Amino acid sequence: MQTNTQPRPTVAVKPITYLTTEELASRIKYDPRTIRDRLKDSVLLEGRHYFRPFGGRKILYIWEAIEEDMAKQAPRLAQVIPMARGGVCRG
């Protein structure tokens, strides 16, 4: 019986960083309450940016997905000109 001694190709696996609400708040400089009340389910979407492990109440945020979407928004936000009374001009 002959055995195959060829090395298996290695697959690069991108690590995923899971964060609690408090850890995410620390990274993006927001209050944890703001994340829970204003960002979750409007900007941060379940299944893309966060999930509930084992169907429980605890929420874990996926840092790489959040970071990617924040970077996509940055160029679009840079194309506005702030106006004196608080509005913006979308040049």
State the Cα–Cα distance between residues 23 and 4, nearest whole angstrom. 46
pLDDT, position 88: 75
Percent of the chain whose pLDDT exceeds 70:
86
State the Cα–Cα distance between residues 35 and 24, nearest whole angstrom. 9
Structural domains of the chain, ranges and CATH numbers in brackets? 18-89 (1.10.1660)
State the Cα–Cα distance between residues 89 and 91, nearest whole angstrom. 5
pTM above 0.85, yes or no: no
pLDDT tens column, 57-85: 999 999 999 999 988 876 655 666 777 87
Percent of the chain whose pLDDT exceeds 90:
56
Q: Which helix (H) or strand (E) holds 3?
A: none
Question: Where would I find the beta strands (DSSP E) of 37-84?
Answer: 50-51, 60-62, 81-82
Residue type, 64: E
- The per-residue pLDDT of the chain, averaged, comes to 86
